[in-house]
């Protein structure tokens, strides 16, 4: 269950759908929701590979299945059929606790509305994944300081989220997503709640992280934001419509 020590995948952006060193791969993944009597197909046989160190945007109109895809990638949900591998491990049939463990060790989330916990300080928000991993307090405090430095919020560790601007809150969220050194960073409309200037800053931050080797998968519907990614996956009616590099 634990990430193999020192097994950092090779760096460099690789296009989705090909590449040998895939850190995340989906094979014929389908997701069917049951709504009363009717069955609704949200994903219909999606096969994708995300190479280590890649930066991919997932685009598409609402109802195209991009949110479902992101939930599956984030191990918040299980596919109805097909298989899903993260760092070589099939996670498509794991139970709730095992999925939590995968999220805790291998996945980082950045949300549109930041989703910081209001009663916790910046430091405590960043520490949260480490807290659930059971890190000793002193070490996780130190790690939180490092991460705050990386996202450019070194001096605001003891602030409350509501004392920060939107852009700063999203930086805290990025720091929190990086705390467990995830295999893949999942971003769901990361600039959706920000003005365009602040959005650019956040995208610069993400691009910088990608250049340092972080694998990023981002859902967005804004073409200029998607342009930061090396590859764009266009979804339509629960299928991959086309891949653009």
> Of 62 and 119, which has the nearer Cβ to other proteins?
119
Q: How many residues bind other proteins (CB under 8 A)?
A: 30
Range in contact with other proteins (rule: CB under 8 A) among 6-14, 105-113, 147-155, 226-234: 105-113
Place of tokens 């996202």: 151
> Of 66 and 105, which has the nearer Cβ to other proteins?
105
Strand residue runs (E) in 87-236:
89-90, 107-110, 184-188, 215-219, 231-236
> Of 64 and 121, which has the nearer Cβ to other proteins?
121
What's the CA gap between 226 and 59, in Å, rounded?
8
111 is a site residue for other proteins (CB under 8 A):
yes
Residues sharing a CB contact under 8 Å with residue 112, sequence separation 6 or more, in sequence order = 188, 189, 190, 192, 193
143 is a site residue for other proteins (CB under 8 A):
no
85 is a site residue for other proteins (CB under 8 A):
no
Main-chain dihedrals φ then ψ at residue 217, nearest 5 degrees? -120, 125
When computed from its CA atoms, the radius of gyration of the chain, rounded to whole angstroms, is 18
Residue 174 CB, shortest distance to other proteins, in Å, is 13
35 is a site residue for other proteins (CB under 8 A):
no
Place of tokens 């997932």: 58
- Which residues contact other proteins by CB under 8 A? 71, 74, 76-77, 96-97, 100-105, 107, 109, 111, 115, 117-120, 124, 128-129, 132-134, 136-137, 176, 180
């Amino acid at each position: 269950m634990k990430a193999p020590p020192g097994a950092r995948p090779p760096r460099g952006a690789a296009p989705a759908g090909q590449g040998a060193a895939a850190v995340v791969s989906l094979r014929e993944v389908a997701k069917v929701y049951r709504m009363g009597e009717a069955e609704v197909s949200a994903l219909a046989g999606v096969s994708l590979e995300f190479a280590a160190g890649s930066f991919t945007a997932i685009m598409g109109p609402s109802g195209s299945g991009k949110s479902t895809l992101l939930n599956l990638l984030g191990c918040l949900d299980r596919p109805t059929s097909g298989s899903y591998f993260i760092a070589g491990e099939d996670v498509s049939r794991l139970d709730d606790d095992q999925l939590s463990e995968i999220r805790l060790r291998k996945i980082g989330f950045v949300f549109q509305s930041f989703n910081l916990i209001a009663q916790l300080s910046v430091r405590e928000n960043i520490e949260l994944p480490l807290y659930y991993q059971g890190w000793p307090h002193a070490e996780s405090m130190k790690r939180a300081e490092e991460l705050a430095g990386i996202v450019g919020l070194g001096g605001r560790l003891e602030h409350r989220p509501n004392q920060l601007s939107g852009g700063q809150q999203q930086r805290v969220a990025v720091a929190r997503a990086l705390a467990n050194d995830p295999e893949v960073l999942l971003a769901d409309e990361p600039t959706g709640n920000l003005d365009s200037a602040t959005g650019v800053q956040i995208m610069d931050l993400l691009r910088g992280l990608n250049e340092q080797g972080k694998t990023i998968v981002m859902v967005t519907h804004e073409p200029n934001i998607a342009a930061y990614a090396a590859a764009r996956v266009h979804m339509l009616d629960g299928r991959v419509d086309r891949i653009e590099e």
